[in-house]
Structure 1
């Protein structure tokens, strides 16, 4: 088995991760549900790639994500840092007294569970009671049944923390808060403040120690899936952890998603803030990309108005909404990493195209030796192989979730790794693996442009929509993600009570279309930090960077641009 270890660093990264793990939990539940669609029972996915088996001190068998999550203190809402399965409700008081004077105890009121979390807790209590007494409690909660519609409404109107909609149990080593870091989250917004706040502590070492706990259990780790909110002060912590991974796990590649929430793209009000933002973006990307095999920037300035949201109804102001769409795509991209590889006992009728992170890096790098930056595209939901939407074929519906890229670029040297799962064929029936392959190959064969190489992975299992998924689907999306010719009358947004699953397509591509993204960061670094009289020269010096370090970053960005620029010229010559 080729295990993956996942890291989530930063607020928005954990919002994305919470949805991601909800998808996995839903898949596990549907696989065991005798009444679920048979496609969920034959997923051809090895969930042990992402999960670890364990046991509590009471002998309860556990199955928890192989995950380290990092966020600011107070970010867990009503959840304990020990999670729930292993929480032994240990008291903070001690029986050892070394002080004879008066003692005053101040305890903050715990955050209250919302209706969704209350229902989860009560269901588990009923299940424990049922197991203990050997009787069937009928699924009724202790206080009376909480209706699904009430749970969904409470989430739509009340999500504050990423734990508010998480239905997953976590291991005690998974949840880490940056204790002692008393900082306003709104001001924790640049590389310098993050570096300064973390410099006095051992947070990087503590995170690495938790990471080591999960890695040492692995038989043959295939790499790390790293989701970081790189819009502010978490970037230097992520850099510390990446340096530790590079030192300790030389042969384990890192696939890093640099995610950004909807608020991070707002224009700063002052010139000083604009300079700080530009320098942060340049420095953060340069440092992170130099320490991972593949970096994927994710997060559009406005997801709701983008082409990617053609069939969605998203509120950009809600991280709960935007993170759901990004998490769905990351789930899709991760499927080939845990597909059962073809062999004498493997059934290729449910999934095909298994790859490891290393193989995806090799596919996207081609002949290049340097670390790669890739564009993430998604079709959510993807159109059926035949029907009303066939005019825009499956590949034509893939839209970028990576910001600042050039559109309609004809890069004949581009390299791609694509996944299509749960695709629908004629009559709304699930398309076979061969039908999907034939459709994609035909689309590229008859397209105006096509990549130099595309690796295609296909699975029949669609994306399940768990109850805490937000109501972000438009009224042209049917119960199983089919695209309708006429809108459904009623609410313009639909959620988990209306949509059970959707077909998805996602793609990572190495293309010269990323050049504007890179050129913007190089330009910002030079004009704001390196050039004579640069307005941010002193600022970046206060962040702890000497001029020669900035020049090294600029040189690295220049090489990335030159490599892609050369490919772009080769494409032009081929025309």
Structure 2
């Protein structure tokens, strides 16, 4: 067994995680559904890589994500921090023996379950006490109406990432940062979160939860770490990562730093923009120093980017944007859990399995350490032989990483490309070998191509679970096929009731296209934090950074730039 432990830190990271685990739960359900789509029957994905087996005190078998989720106290909505599988009713003392006076109790009203969570609860109760299927036609009709109500309520009412989560979590998975008496809007820079991990028992409690999952692994292949780095959670994650690097020295860490479009909307004044720029430089430099591979994700205007050619996204809704990023992370992680099959079976279902360590070594290329990779994806992926240029599969991949250069020719570029559920020219699901032949032919005829490209292919598409947002445009068909004309009489945005699965393509690249991203962070740190009379010096001092620490940070960024571009004139010295 080659297990992966997943860590999610911060609000947007947990929104992404909620969609990610919904995809996994949907795959598990479809694989076991006798009436389900046959394409999901032979997935040849080892879900034990991400999940653990266990049982409750009552002896009921459980199958839960190997996950540690960290967020604010109160961020779980109607869900208990102990999850939903285990009854946990802490004892409440009937009286206080050390106080002779009157005692009053103040309790806040718990958050009510929305329609979706209510439907999950009712379904579970029905499974516990099954009834004879009388009037099944009527029940099906009521269920269909209920599904429409559920989809509408989620579109208009998601507040917490748990509002649309269909997954059971282990009691060790959900960790709330108690005692932070501030709004998420105020927890908005690296400095404000610097002491959070070390205060009280938080750091030890988070380490204990991770240790619980790691120690039961037979042979852990890596840690998949997702952090919302737009505010104070980046420093919480950095301290957590530092502990992980010390305790699990030989365990590779694949770090995704994510942020939603709303985090870019808060930069109104010049001072706020400067503070954000300094935060970005400090956050990226420290986070990247504790992992082998870091992937920055999050466009300022996702809904207006080329990524959204066939999508209808509302940037102000984390529920929408996180779904797109989660789909890409699902695709990129497929090679880590592909089953290794014989040569005759590979061409039928999956091909190109690789573990976390192998991916990192591949992208590292010529001794590039602490690799910064870009993420590109297309959702949904066009057919292998799209007649229009903008519909060709490789040409439709667009960056999910911000501030990168386009159309860069990098002779040392290395990539890992994953394609699954792709359609062939006749509107049927293409075989694995057909996908491989098409991609290889495309690169042979290309004027520019990477130094090395690893291709992973799966026959199984991305399933669209019920709580997925209605973000597909009316040119997307039921199985994710791209239509020549809009769906007649359909809604402008389509969700899980209209689109049941989609083909996906995503890739990670080690490329010089990331240079503007790195140079912007180095330049802002020099201009606002290090140069003589810099306007951000006092702010950085209030965050706890002395001048020598800032110079070390700049030197680290400069080395990353020089590694990618040896001819770069970047230097940590200020002008």
TM-score bracket for the superposition, by shorter chain length? over 0.9
CA distance in 2, matches of 1:477, 1:567: 45
CA distance in 1, matches of 2:441, 2:368: 32
Which residues of 2 match residues 377-416 of structure 1 at below 5 A? 377-389=376-388, 392-416=391-415
CA distance in 2, matches of 1:116, 1:154: 8
Any conservation in 1 of the 2:417–2:456 contact (CA below 8 Å)? Answer: yes
| 2:49 is the counterpart of 1:49 | yes
State the 1:390 CA deviation: 6.2
State the 1:268 CA deviation: 2.1
Question: Match of 2:296?
Answer: 297
Any conservation in 1 of the 2:377–2:397 contact (CA below 8 Å)? Answer: yes
Any conservation in 1 of the 2:475–2:483 contact (CA below 8 Å)? Answer: yes
CA distance in 2, matches of 1:22, 1:431: 25
CA distance in 2, matches of 1:56, 1:93: 26
Once the two structures are superposed, what CA deviation does each residue of 1:358-385 show, in whole Å capped at 9, x if it has no partner? 1111111101242000000001111111
CA distance in 2, matches of 1:74, 1:405: 36
CA distance in 1, matches of 2:135, 2:295: 47
Q: Match of 1:147, SS?
A: helix
For structure 1, which segment, 282-291 or 406-415, has the greater mean C-alpha deviation from structure 2 after superposition? Answer: 406-415
CA distance in 2, matches of 1:543, 1:391: 46
Question: Match of 1:214?
Answer: 213
Question: Match of 2:37?
Answer: 37
State the 1:334 CA deviation: 0.4
> How many positions carry a matched residue from both structures?
564
TM-score by structure 1 length? 0.95
Any conservation in 2 of the 1:230–1:259 contact (CA below 8 Å)? Answer: yes
Any conservation in 2 of the 1:342–1:348 contact (CA below 8 Å)? Answer: no
Question: Match of 1:79?
Answer: 79
Which residues of 2 match residues 102-501 of structure 1 at below 5 A? 102-130=102-130, 147-266=146-265, 268-343=267-342, 347-389=346-388, 392-489=391-488, 490-501=490-501
CA distance in 2, matches of 1:42, 1:500: 17
State the 1:101 CA deviation: 2.2
Q: Match of 1:566, SS?
A: coil
| 2:58 is the counterpart of 1:58 | yes
CA distance in 2, matches of 1:315, 1:226: 26
CA distance in 2, matches of 1:449, 1:344: 31
CA distance in 1, matches of 2:267, 2:19: 29
CA distance in 2, matches of 1:182, 1:111: 19
State the 1:386 CA deviation: 2.5
Any conservation in 1 of the 2:52–2:64 contact (CA below 8 Å)? Answer: yes
Gaps of 5+ in 1: 570-575
Any conservation in 2 of the 1:512–1:568 contact (CA below 8 Å)? Answer: no
Question: Match of 2:509?
Answer: 509
Any conservation in 2 of the 1:393–1:443 contact (CA below 8 Å)? Answer: no
CA distance in 1, matches of 2:126, 2:443: 53
For structure 1, which segment, 35-44 or 457-466, has the greater mean C-alpha deviation from structure 2 after superposition? Answer: 35-44
For structure 1, which segment, 43-52 or 379-388, has the greater mean C-alpha deviation from structure 2 after superposition? Answer: 379-388
Any conservation in 2 of the 1:80–1:87 contact (CA below 8 Å)? Answer: no
Any conservation in 2 of the 1:480–1:500 contact (CA below 8 Å)? Answer: yes
CA distance in 2, matches of 1:527, 1:201: 36
Any conservation in 2 of the 1:126–1:137 contact (CA below 8 Å)? Answer: no
| Residues 60, 94 of structure 1: alpha-carbon distance in 2 compared, 3 angstrom cutoff | farther
Question: Match of 1:572?
Answer: none
Once the two structures are superposed, what CA deviation does each residue of 1:269-299 show, in whole Å capped at 9, x if it has no partner? 3232222111100000000001000000000
CA distance in 2, matches of 1:272, 1:129: 60
